Amino acid sequence: MAMDWSDVVLLVLAVAIFVLYVRLMRKNVRLRQMADEANRLRHEAEAAWQRNRQLKQEMTSNIAHELKTPVSSIRGYLEILLSDKPVDDERRRYFLERSFRQTLRLSDLIQDVSIINKLEESADLFSRSEVDASEVAKEAVSDLADKAAAAGITIANHLPPMPQNGNRELLYCIFRNLVENSISYAGNGISIVLETYEPIRTASANFEHRTSDAELYYIHYYDTGRGVADEYLSRLFDRFVRIDEGRSRQNGGTGLGLSIVKHAVLFHGGDIYAKNRPEGGLEFFFSLKKQ
């Protein structure tokens, strides 16, 4: 039976309505997906904000704790010197020297906190220029040569020329903090070595085995000292982490040195990994982007 024009019109309208309905459903699905993605991103942003807020609170608390000891010491020494009780020249000099050491510790802490805050929040404020990382390493080693010699420590720097577009201050922080960490905590009479290496081509997740990249310098730093307990390796780059609390304070460490090292390496487009050497001591594998 042939359809009249009214049936045709109704059929076309039905098809059009169905097509429109399908399109609306698809669009509705896409909108729900977009809404779900927006909610996911919002939750992630809120979680990141909470983590950042917690980290800032922890850092503020840690800074206050770190400031308390030197400030209390300086105050105590000055109160003795300013009291009505007589103080002989030898004790006066002792109190002044101790106060001076504590002010140096405060100065180091303030400088390290400033660097790490700047790296975390405004890294783009660090300028870049043509610099040779190996020359910066030589400067750091030279600056610490007397301190190393006093502890019977030898430093072998085998780094070849490594020109790059980087920040000299942050590169200096990397090498100085690594060497200073070994001098302070690895023990006397040890050796420190800086050298380059070629990563092994393997699927291993370990940093030292990643595929070689022509755009990166790969640097191996190690000492032959006592190393650290395995449970501390995963926290080695955390802020204010001290493996030996008493010795750390005795040596005047701020607890921020290795955290600055990691942030400075990341600033230069690299990564860093640490582990204990089978032969004894602690070693670091890290990379620096050439340009």
Q: What's the rounded Cα separation, in Å, for the pair 120 and 90?
A: 45
pTM of the complete model beyond 0.75: no
* Contact yes or no for 174/261 (Cβ under 8 A): yes
| Predicted pLDDT of residue 114 | 85
Domain definitions of the chain by residue range? 1-125, 129-289
| Predicted pLDDT of residue 201 | 54
Provide CB contacts within 8 A for 182, sequence distance 6+. 153, 190, 192, 223, 225, 282
Min mean pLDDT across 99-108, 118-127, 197-206, 233-242 is at 197-206
Q: What's the rounded Cα separation, in Å, for the pair 32 and 35?
A: 5
* Domain 1-125 in this protein, CATH class: mainly alpha
Look up tokens 């990141």; give the residue: 48
* 25 vs 173, residue with greater confidence: 173
- pLDDT category, 211, cuts 50, 70, 90? very low
| Predicted pLDDT of residue 247 | 47
* Contact yes or no for 112/254 (Cβ under 8 A): yes
Using CB atoms within 10 Å of the CB of residue 42, give its burial: 0 to 12 exposed, 13 to 18 middle, 19+ buried. Answer: exposed
- pLDDT category, 10, cuts 50, 70, 90? confident
| Predicted pLDDT of residue 242 | 61
CATH architecture of 129-289: 2-Layer Sandwich (3.30)
